A and B are shown apart, each in its own frame.
Chain A
Amino acid sequence: MIVAGCDVGSLSGEAVVLQDDSILAYEIMRVRPRPELTAEEVTARALAKAKLSFEDLSYCVSTGYGREKIPFSNSSISEISCHGRGAHWVNPNVRTVIDIGGQDCKVIRVDKLGYMVDFVMNDKCAAGTGRFLEGMAKVLGVELEALGPLGLAGASPTGITKTCTVLAQFDVMCLLNDGEDRADIAAGIGRAMAERITKMAKRVGVQGEVAMTGGVAKNAAVVSSLQDVLGLELYQLESVDPQIVGALGAALFARERCERQERRKAS
């Protein structure tokens, strides 16, 4: 059985093609102006990688903020459930998932089967989201991907006092004006993110193995600071790109729903 999950977020779109219990192919791309365009292109690209086409799909679940606008999906599920489910598939001991996307951050608790039981979420303010890191990278004049490695090289993280993304940019501008070391500033940015996320995590409670998903999980400075501030080791999703976990979860739900449909047909 071949199914797909498609996650269209605010900054990027991801698709995962799943056959039985293994990932055949996946794709990540920057969003197009409309969620349906992103969904179609990213899914088509992932299918092409697996030498498949839309006709080969038995079922497709869409997720992410644009999930209801995807014409080819059979159903849609919230990205909160999908991230929980996806991370739990990678490591069944995972009970807490910290997902930081482009425009939101969430801490999700899942049960032993990977179903969501509780969560906290911030989607009202850009602090603690991918947009925060994007803004900071811009002021520092580095690519987003370079921010993590730069931060790891910083020996003494600079204090970033402002929570607001825009105000923190001004903070960083002043630090640069004062001749502060750029690596230290990047480390300070990671630390600021970690403190913000930790506050949220404490509200919902941290249990079991903790996995980090979403694009920000690729920022080594944030991951390292988060481990320091939370005081625990995060489970590293080495076998799966953390950015595709939402789409992966959607694909797992697709498989489940497809199987249910077939059982119904058979009976």
Chain B
Amino acid sequence: MISLGCDVGTITAKTVILKDGEIVAFDITPNEGKLSQAVERSVQNALSQAGIALEDIENRGGTGAGERYISFPHVTKSTISCLSKGVNRTVTSARTVVDIGGLSTTCIHINDQGKAMEYRTNDRCASGTGFFLELAAQALELKVEDFSRVAASAQEKVRISAQCAVFGESEIVSHVNDGVDAASIVAGISHSIGSGLATTARRLGVEPEIVATGGVAKLAPVLKALEEDLGVEVQTPEWDPQLAAAIGAALPDTEQ
């Protein structure tokens, strides 16, 4: 059976095509210009990788903050269920999902069936989100992908005191102006995001195994800060962690 999942986030649109539960194609497209066009591009990219036409896929699921920009018929699913199912598909022992998206952070308790039991999400403030990382990268004239490499050489970490993403960016700019090296700043940013996430997770109650998803899960220094703060190991899925919700959306048994 072939199925398609599309997760329209605030920064990127993600598409996954599953064949008998295995990923056969995926795509991550940044939202530039019209959201509907980003969705279109992402879906087309995945379809051409898989060499299949949209008409031939019966099971189509959509999720994410921009889900309404998916123009073709599909089943709408909640992001929480999609993240839970997506993680459970490969890591059945996962009981806590920590997700950092473009504009939100979410912690979910899931059971062995991948059902969300309880969750906390911050979607009111951009503090500690992927968007903040983008702002920080711009201020440092780096790419977010470079953060792991840059932070590796850090001798110390600068304190980032602002909670607000916008003010955090200004704080980073003043550190740059004060001549602080990029490595210490990136280490400081990673620490601030990791410990913020740990606070949210602790409020929900941390139950192992913990799996991190979303773009931030690709950043080793953030994961390390999260692990140090929680005192527990944090895993990442074997596939691209940004695809978690899209995979969940593609799975036919994910709740709507």
Which A residues are within 8 Å of any B CB, using their own CB?
A: 10, 33-34, 103, 124-126, 131, 135, 162-167, 170, 173-174, 177
Judging by beta carbons under 8 Å apart, are B166 and A135 in contact? yes
Q: Which of B167, B170, B177 contacts A34 (CB 8 A)?
A: B177
Question: Taking the nearest CB of chain A, how far is it from the CB of B160, in angstroms?
Answer: 14
Judging by beta carbons under 8 Å apart, are A174 and B125 in contact? no
Report, nearest first, the 3 A-B pairs whose CB atoms are least far apart.
A166-B126, A126-B166, A33-B177
Q: Pick 13 A–B contacts, CB within 8 A, sort by A.
A: A10-B170, A103-B167, A103-B170, A124-B162, A125-B163, A125-B164, A125-B167, A126-B165, A126-B167, A163-B124, A164-B125, A166-B126, A167-B123
Question: Taking the nearest CB of chain B, how far is it from the CB of A113, in angstroms?
Answer: 34
Contact A166/B131 with A103-B167, A125-B125 known, Cβ cut-off 8 Å: yes
Judging by beta carbons under 8 Å apart, are A167 and B36 in contact? no
Q: Which residues of A contact B165 (CB under 8 A)?
A: 126, 165-166
CA A103 to CA B66, docked complex, whole Å: 29
Q: Which of B36, B65, B69, B170 contacts A170 (CB 8 A)?
A: B65
Q: Is the interface of B mostly helix, strand, loop or mixed?
A: loop
Judging by beta carbons under 8 Å apart, are B164 and A124 in contact? yes
Judging by beta carbons under 8 Å apart, are A167 and B34 in contact? no
Judging by beta carbons under 8 Å apart, are B36 and A177 in contact? yes
Best-surrounded residue of A33, A124, A135, A177 (most CB of chain B within 10 A): A177
- Among B93-146, those with CB < 8 Å from A are 103, 123-126, 129, 131-132
CA A33 to CA B178, docked complex, whole Å: 9
- Among B60-87, those with CB < 8 Å from A are 65-66, 69
Q: Which residues of B contact A126 (CB under 8 A)?
A: 164-167
CA A167 to CA B10, docked complex, whole Å: 9
Q: Which of A34, A131, A166 contacts B103 (CB 8 A)?
A: A166
Judging by beta carbons under 8 Å apart, are B177 and A174 in contact? no
CA A10 to CA B163, docked complex, whole Å: 17
Judging by beta carbons under 8 Å apart, are B69 and A166 in contact? no
Chain A residue at smallest Cβ distance from B126: A166
Question: Taking the nearest CB of chain B, how far is it from the CB of A247, in angstroms?
Answer: 21
Judging by beta carbons under 8 Å apart, are A177 and B131 in contact? no
Q: Which of A34, A164, A174 contacts B126 (CB 8 A)?
A: A164
CA A131 to CA B170, docked complex, whole Å: 11
Judging by beta carbons under 8 Å apart, are B166 and A173 in contact? no
